[in-house]
């Protein structure tokens, strides 16, 4: 069976890891081209060594390549501002776009939660690394009990936060907070990112807090564990660090002001990268490329 051809825009860490993931692990996709803007980038050099057509002239160079007509899906691993320009340039050509930036032109997609609802969209947004890790947990809780308030803290190694991540910190918090509501089902959402400078670098850790009314804790815990298994099917390093925690929130508790009386559900996660290109501690980048690969495969199959 012939493989669907994809193109990657962005020759940095995320774009390069995504290219290697497609080449090494996908049975349905083929990387036809990689576009960057730095002719000396390691990503473009690796792509050429792996037999992938390259251009250092960005999206315009990609459009001019002979193989561009055969490309069905374009994965954008640049920045929020660059994606807006890339989307406008590619719009006339009818390509399916998968956006790994916080631009959020298209609907948010978290594969374990809502991919099936957006397979026909022309442009889908992969939220953020924190969103891919934590939105599934909020969704898992909300399918058992309504989530009045959800707050997440994503802690990543400072060395795994490249220029693109640092330039998009505001977009990260805004996009992730919104996705907790739109996709996760929380009435209100808040996101915090921590860049940890520790040496040796620490693995990605995520903490999810959900305020819910009184409900069956066993049902919530079971739903969370089921969701963790669903995400781990395409992100093997995604796992619970400990059992789901519950604490009663009464009328005098300060947390009651955020969501009323009930329970505070606390979930502690760890995301280890597959180390295809990036180090294993960079689970924040690996979860983005793994989720995007899942979306690309399902989109191409569609």
Catalytic residues: 129
- Determine whether the annotation assigns residue 162 to a binding site: yes
- Determine whether the annotation assigns residue 26 to a binding site: no
> Is-cis flag, bond preceding 200, omega within 30?
yes
- Determine whether the annotation assigns residue 252 to a binding site: no
- Determine whether the annotation assigns residue 173 to a binding site: no
Contacts of 129 (CB under 8 A, 6+ apart): 154, 156, 204, 284, 285, 287, 288
- Determine whether the annotation assigns residue 166 to a binding site: yes
- Determine whether the annotation assigns residue 161 to a binding site: yes
End-to-end CA distance of the chain: 15
- Determine whether the annotation assigns residue 28 to a binding site: no
Count the Cβ atoms, other than its own, within 10 Å of residue 173.
18
- Determine whether the annotation assigns residue 79 to a binding site: no
- Determine whether the annotation assigns residue 2 to a binding site: no
- Determine whether the annotation assigns residue 11 to a binding site: yes
- Which segments of the chain does DSSP mark as H helices, in order? 13-25, 42-49, 58-63, 80-90, 111-114, 129-142, 163-167, 169-182, 217-232, 256-259, 283-301
Q: Residue 244 to residues 55, 126, 142, 167, 253: CA-CA distances in angstroms?
A: 47, 26, 15, 34, 21
> Of 232, 208, 240, which is closest to residue 290 (Cα–Cα)?
232
- Determine whether the annotation assigns residue 13 to a binding site: yes
Contacts of 229 (CB under 8 A, 6+ apart): none
Phi then psi for residue 200, to 5 deg, are -65, 160
- Determine whether the annotation assigns residue 196 to a binding site: no
**Residues in the annotated binding site for NAD(+):** 11-14, 160-168, 284
Q: Residues annotated in the binding site, as ranges?
A: 11-14, 160-168, 284
């Amino acid at each position: 069976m012939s493989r669907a051809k994809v193109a990657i825009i962005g020759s940095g860490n995320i774009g390069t890891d995504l290219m290697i993931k497609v080449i090494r692990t996908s049975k349905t996709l083929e990387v036809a081209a990689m576009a960057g803007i730095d002719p000396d980038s390691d990503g473009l050099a690796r792509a050429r060594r792996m037999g992938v057509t390259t251009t250092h002239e960005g999206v315009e160079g990609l459009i001019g390549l002979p193989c561009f007509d055969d490309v069905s899906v374009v994965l954008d691993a640049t920045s929020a501002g660059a994606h807006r320009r890339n989307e406008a340039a590619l719009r006339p050509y009818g390509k399916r776009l998968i956006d790994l930036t916080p631009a959020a032109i298209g609907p948010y997609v978290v594969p374990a939660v809502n991919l099936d609802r957006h397979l026909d969209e022309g442009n889908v947004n992969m939220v953020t690394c924190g969103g891919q890790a934590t939105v599934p947990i909020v969704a898992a809780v909300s399918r058992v009990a309504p989530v009045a308030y959800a707050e997440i803290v994503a802690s990543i190694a400072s060395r795994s936060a490249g220029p693109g991540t640092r330039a998009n910190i505001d977009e990260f918090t805004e996009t992730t907070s919104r996705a907790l509501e739109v996709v996760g089902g929380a009435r209100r959402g808040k996101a915090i990112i921590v860049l940890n400078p520790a040496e040796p670098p620490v693995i990605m850790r995520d903490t999810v807090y959900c305020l819910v009314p009184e409900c069956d804790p066993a049902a919530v815990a079971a739903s969370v564990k089921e969701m963790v298994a669903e995400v781990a099917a395409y992100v093997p390093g995604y796992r619970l660090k400990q059992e789901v925690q519950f604490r009663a929130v009464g009328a005098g508790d300060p947390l009651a002001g955020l969501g009323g009386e009930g329970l505070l559900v606390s979930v502690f996660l760890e995301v280890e990268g597959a180390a295809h290109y990036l180090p294993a501690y960079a689970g924040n980048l690996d979860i983005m490329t793994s989720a995007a690969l899942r979306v690309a495969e399902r989109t191409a199959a569609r």
